[in-house]
Amino acid sequence: MLSIIQAAGWPIWPLIACSVLALALVIERFVSLKTSKVAPPRLLDEAISVSRTNVPSPDVVTQLEQNSALGEVLASGFRALNANPRCSEADLRASMEGAGRAVAHRLERYLAALATIASAAPLLGLLGTVIGMIEIFGSQAPGSSAGSAVGAGNPAQLAQGISIALYNTAFGLIVAIPALIFWRFFRARVDGYLLTLELASERFVRHLISLRRP
C-alpha cells in the first residue's frame, strides 16, 4: 500500500484525507440513525397510553424527551400543554413543528459533507491525472534529462507521470463511489424517518387536543 501511495505522488494525500473523513462520517451516521435512537416503533402508542386522562408529570416528559428524536417531538407537545392547559391547536402544532425542525436538522447533519466528498473526490482524482500528464509531457520535453539524447525523454519520469495519473484517477473513483452510495442510503433513511415523525406528530396532536381543559 505504501508503494502505491509513493507511486501516486503527493496528489493522493487529499484523497486519503477524504477517504478517512468519509469513513468517519459513515460510521457516525450509522450509529446516530438507528431506529431505536430516532423513532422507536411503539413509543407513540406508549406516550398516548400514559396520557389517556391527563398530561404526564414533568419527570415523565423529560424521560420521553431523552428517549429518542420522536420522544423529543412528542415531549414538546406535552410541555406546551403543561405550560398552557388551554392552548390552541395552532399553538400545539407550532410547538411540535419547532421541535421537529430541530430534530430534522440533526438527522441531516453531515449528509452535506458526505455529498461534498462524493462530488469532490473525482475532481481531486482528475487533478492528480492532470499533474501526471504534466509529468509525462515534461519527460518528453527536449533536454528534460541531462544524460539523454535530445527529444528522447526520461523513461523514469514518464513512468512516474503515468503512475500519478492512473493511481489518482482510480483512487478518486474508489472514494467517490462508496461516498455517493452511502449518501443516497442515509438520505433515503432520513426521509423515511421524517415522514414517520410527521405522521406520528399529526396523530399525537389530535390526542393532545382531547386533553385540553375547556
- DSSP of 9-31, one letter per residue? -TTHHHHHHHHHHHHHHHHHHHH
Confidence at residue 119, expressed as pLDDT on a 0 to 100 scale: 94
Confidence at residue 146, expressed as pLDDT on a 0 to 100 scale: 43
Residue ranges of the domains in the chain?
A: 2-211
Confidence at residue 149, expressed as pLDDT on a 0 to 100 scale: 42
Is residue 15 within 8 Å of 168, Cβ to Cβ? yes
How far, in Å, CA of 177 to CA of 211, rounded? 51
pLDDT in tens, the chain (214 residues): 666 666 666 778 889 999 999 999 999 999 999 999 999 999 999 999 988 888 888 899 999 999 999 999 999 999 998 888 888 889 999 999 999 999 999 999 999 999 999 999 999 988 888 887 887 776 665 554 444 443 445 666 677 777 777 888 888 999 999 999 999 999 999 999 999 999 999 999 999 988 776 6
Is residue 67 within 8 Å of 43, Cβ to Cβ? yes
What dihedral angle (degrees, nearest 10) is formed by the CA atoms of 25, 28, 31, 32?
-100
State the sign of the Cα–Cα–Cα–Cα dihedral 114, 115, 117, 121.
positive
How far, in Å, CA of 39 to CA of 185, rounded? 17
Confidence at residue 88, expressed as pLDDT on a 0 to 100 scale: 86
How far, in Å, CA of 154 to CA of 99, rounded? 65
Best CA proximity match to 103, nearest among 136, 154, 131, 65: 65
